[in-house]
Structure 1
Amino acid sequence: MAKKILFVGAGAIGSYIGAFLSRAGHDVTLVDPWAEQVEAIRKKGISVTGPHDPFEARPAAVHLNEAQRLPRDFDLAFVAMKVYDTAWAAQVALRHLKPEGFIVASENCWPDPIVASVAGASRSLGLVMSKIGVALWKPGQVERGAEKGQGTGHDVFRVGEHDGRVTARATEVAEMLKVIDGSQVTENLWGERWAKLCANAMGNPVQAMSGLGSFEIASSEVGRAITIHLAAESARVGLALGYRVPKFNSTTAEQWAAADRRDVYESLDRMLTPTTASGRNWRSSMGQDVTKGRPTEIDYMNGHVVAQGRQQSVPTPVSAATVDAVREIDAGTRKPEAQNIERVLRRAGV
Structure 2
Amino acid sequence: MSESILVWGAGAIGGTFGAALVRAGRDVTFVDVVPEHVEAIRDPERGLRITGPVDPMVVKAPAFLPEGLKGTWKRIYLAVKAQHTEQACRALLPHLAEDGFVVSLQNGLCEKTIAEIVGPDRTIGAFINFGADWIGPGEVHFGNRAAVVTGEIDGRMTPRLNDVLEDLRTFEPDAIQTDDIWSYLWGKLAYGSLLFAQAVGNLGIADCLERPELLPLWRELAGEIVTVARAEGVEPRGFNGFDPNAFGKGGTEEAAKASVAAMVAFNRPNAKTHSGVWRDLAIRKRRTEVDMQLLPIVGVGRKHGLSCPTLERLIAMIHEIEQNRRDLSDNNLTELLKQ
- What TM-score, normalized by structure 1, do the two folds share? 0.88
Cα pair distance change 1:163/1:28, threshold 3 Å: same
Aligned match of 2:80: 81
Partner of 1:247: 238
Instruction: Give the secondary-structure state (helix, strand or coil) at the position aligned to 1:16.
Output: helix
Aligned residue runs from structure 1 range 62-73, under 5 A: 62-67=64-69, 70-72=70-72
Q: Secondary structure at the match of 1:145?
A: strand
3-state SS in 2 of match to 1:178? helix
Which of 244-253 and 14-23 deviates more?
Answer: 244-253
Secondary structure of 2:57's partner? strand
Task: Render the CA deviation track for 1:71-129: whole Å, top value 9, x for unaligned.
Answer: 12x12111111111101111222211222111111110110110001100111111111
Match in the other structure for 2:137: 139
Distance 1:40 1:320, change over 3 A: same
Show the counterpart of 1:153.
Answer: none
Residue 2 of structure 1 contacts residue 25 of structure 1 at CA under 8 Å; is this kept in 2? no
The answer for the alignment partner of 1:299 in structure 2 is 291
Amino acid across the alignment from 2:101: F
- Deviation per CA, 1:147-201: give whole Å up to 9, x if none: x35xxxxxx2211111100011111110121111122221001111111111212
**Cα distance in 2, alignment partners of residues 257 and 235 from structure 1:** 6
Distance 2:254 2:100 in 1: 51
Q: Do structure 1's residue 127 and structure 2's residue 126 form an aligned pair?
A: yes
Aligned ranges 1:1-350 → 2 under 5 Å: 1-43=1-43, 44-67=46-69, 70-72=70-72, 74-130=73-129, 132-146=130-144, 148-149=145-146, 156-181=147-172, 182-203=174-195, 205-258=196-249, 261-268=252-259, 271=262, 282-290=273-281, 291-347=283-339
In structure 1, C-alpha distance between the alignment counterparts of 2:216 and 2:106, rounded to whole Å: 27
Question: In structure 1, what is the Cα distance between the partners aligned to 2:163 and 2:249?
Answer: 38
269 and 75 in structure 1: CA distance in 2 versus 1, 3 angstrom threshold:
closer
Q: What is the identity percentage for the equivalent residue pairs of Structure 1 and Structure 2?
A: 28
Contact 1:128 1:157 in 2 (8 A): yes
In the aligned structure 2, how far is the partner of 1:110 from the partner of 1:58? 32
Which 10-residue stretch deviates more, 57-66 or 162-171? Answer: 57-66
TM value normalised by structure 2: 0.91
**Equivalent AA in structure 1 for residue 275 of structure 2:** S
Question: What is the SS of the residue equivalent to 1:128?
Answer: strand
Distance 2:235 2:128 in 1: 17
Residue segments in structure 1 that go unaligned for 5+ positions in a row: 150-155
Distance across 2 between alignment mates of 1:236 and 1:222? 23
Relative distance call for 1:278 and 1:193 in structure 2 (3 A) is closer
Q: Provide the rounded CA distance (Å) in 1 between the counterparts of 2:291 and 2:157.
A: 32
Contact 1:18 1:59 in 2 (8 A): no
Q: Would you say how many aligned residue pairs link Structure 1 and Structure 2?
A: 335
Cα 1:133–1:52, aligned 2, differ >3 Å: closer, same or farther? closer
Letter in 2 for 1:66: G
CA contact (8 A) 2:74 2:99 kept: yes
CA contact (8 A) 1:50 1:145 kept: yes
| Aligned-residue RMSD, C-alpha | 2.4
